[in-house]
Structure 1
């Protein structure tokens, strides 16, 4: 269920914050609550979704105008974004659903107003020749960014095969480092996302299982937008503007994938054809549909809670909060504010 008192509390908190500065998006000369701050710091990742379309086309800069500076900070994984948010250096960021679940479980004060994508074949377990199934990974070295959706999916795949992180040497490695380790022959495989995933496959890698397959078994993963509670309560109109630009990007991806792929290709330094192929491995949902029960208003909170329980079961986290905490951390109001096209 949604929490009807939350909006009232949020409004009260926003009023209280008028006398303070946002963690990193504002200063004493910022506009009143609900308006735009002088600066917004965004943590992004090199994932072929709408966030890169927004960045490349400078839609946020255009929407906010010259009075607001948009600062884009690149991160390797959702775990790193979580750390930056805890440090107070990011207002809005991209994290996977497993990092988001971990963040909520650990008490990070942020909320989820947007789903960048539902992860399908864009993340997968890829191995070198001679390994035929997940069971054959016993004693092998597999790399993945810890606390990421790929890490979560790898653990789910191992559990299904009757293996765990003790019978398989699972090492923590960011995507670019995974590619280098693969090239050197230091690892037998990796669970990772595009564009590095595509490079491993092009270098002879074989997919054993994808996140799309795991989703069919109840282990769905997402790339999510998170915004700090402080920023969302002080600048709700700014968050609405940010969500509207993300929805604009989803529309472009659906209506003109060529234009979208060109923008993403420029950001990832790949060809438009490669970008388009990688985009097709993700599922994009517009704001109107996100606001419904299948996503922000029901399905996602349930997923985040279930993810926390799974991670605790495997010893990856120590605490799972009450289910209501995960429900309260997902906020569909911003997606609902986007005018239907």
Structure 2
């Protein structure tokens, strides 16, 4: 073989090698640029998440982290946290304070991301306006509808206890908010325990009377959570979510009409109803600290006493996310 032909072959080999390396680099770049999908669960009453979803703000803030969101709606908090526990979700939007208690009793490994300040008047026990039931004590022997493990569930237990009754004194009907509304309007249940915006919708669209809300008995705090596995792997994502929740909570309270108008087509409710509902929610987003979890233990103990929780739990023995860390 001549020197010139050998050189030619070497050049062709070098070019082929460079081409292969180049295509490999392009392929690697394509793989690297493929967004990681984060699964976020929410429910209709997840106001701040609903605003962020409608505005596209959360996706925009997560894009620099190469993260895409997939959204998953649930009827209430318990199935939402069950999905989180089964690793079908990474992050859970706000659920009532009762729900994590049931998840902990089921052995869920959860991290508390954030909480909303108390909103005791944002849930209530209602009866039809013409009902003979005048007080909570009159619920004895009556059929009461509510979502299992929701904040409404604890409100009912606490209100019955205050009236000298126990949970066994009523006939419970475990119903999603939509099914509860239908049963209530048909007269299939005597009373309904529900939260906003469903409460505001019932007040504005039906003739109802409030027997009791959470004032003085159930503070109704709402928590945002993540699977602990995800919290350890992607604290950068949780920091972005926390910051957006905090900012959006302030915006909703400072711009009630704009927020209601934005949410109206999302929720299928008129803006006036949404504004009434939002006025009863604090939407102040805080980091979760051990000192703020005192009511969680009281809730757990109340459910255990009524034999509604399978085992005793230490409600304060939970993982807490530190947004500033």
Question: TM-score higher than 0.5 here?
Answer: yes
Which has the greater radius of gyration?
2
Among candidates 178, 182, 185, match of residue 184 of structure 2: 182
SS at match of 1:221: coil
Residue in structure 2 matching 1:43, options 17, 41, 44: 41
Instruction: State the match for 2:211 in structure 1.
Output: 208
What displacement does 1:157 show?
0.7
Mapped contact 1:139–1:169 kept (Cα < 8 A): yes
Equivalent residue number for residue 247 of structure 1: 246
Matched, 1:147 2:149: yes
Counterpart of 1:124 in 2: which secondary structure?
strand
CA distance in 1, matches of 2:281, 2:162: 23
Q: Where does residue 120 of structure 2 map in the other structure? A: 120
Structure 1 residues 242 and 312: CA distance shift in structure 2, 3 A: same
2:301 pairs with 1:309: yes
Q: Label 1:322 to 1:223 Cα distance change in 2 as closer, same or farther (>3 A).
A: closer
- Map 1:259-274 → 2, pairs under 5 A: 259-274=258-273
- Deviation at residue 321 of structure 1 after TM alignment: 2.8
1:1-341 correspondence to structure 2 within 5 Å: 38-47=36-45, 49-65=47-63, 67-93=66-92, 94-128=94-128, 129-202=131-204, 203-211=206-214, 213=215, 216-217=216-217, 219-286=218-285, 290-291=286-287, 296-322=288-314, 324-325=316-317, 328-331=318-321, 333-334=322-323, 336=324
Gap change, CA 1:323 and 1:137, over 3 Å in 2: closer
* TM-score using structure 1 length: 0.79
2:210 match: secondary structure: strand
Which stretches of structure 1, 4 residues or longer, exceed 6 Å deviation after superposition? none
Distance 1:322 1:122, change over 3 A: closer
Bigger share in helix: 2
Give the root-mean-square deviation of aligned CA atoms: 2.1
TM-score by length of 2: 0.83
Structure 1 residue 57, shift from structure 2 partner? 0.8
Q: Secondary structure at the match of 2:192?
A: strand
Q: In 1, are the aligned partners of 2:116 and 2:222 still within 8 Å (CA)?
A: yes
Q: Which runs of 5+ in 2 are unaligned?
A: 1-30
Gaps of 5+ in 1: 1-28
Aligned length: 290
Q: CA deviation at 1:200?
A: 2.6
Distance 1:123 1:300, change over 3 A: same
Name the structure 1 match of 2:21: none
Distance 1:169 1:324, change over 3 A: closer
Distance 1:110 1:37, change over 3 A: farther
In the aligned structure 1, how far is the partner of 2:254 from the partner of 2:71? 26
Q: Closer, same or farther in 2 for the Cα pair 1:299/1:190, shift >3 Å?
A: farther
- Deviation of the 1:263 alpha carbon: 2.2
What secondary structure sits across from 2:41 in the alignment? strand
- d(CA) in 2 for partners of 1:235, 1:48: 22
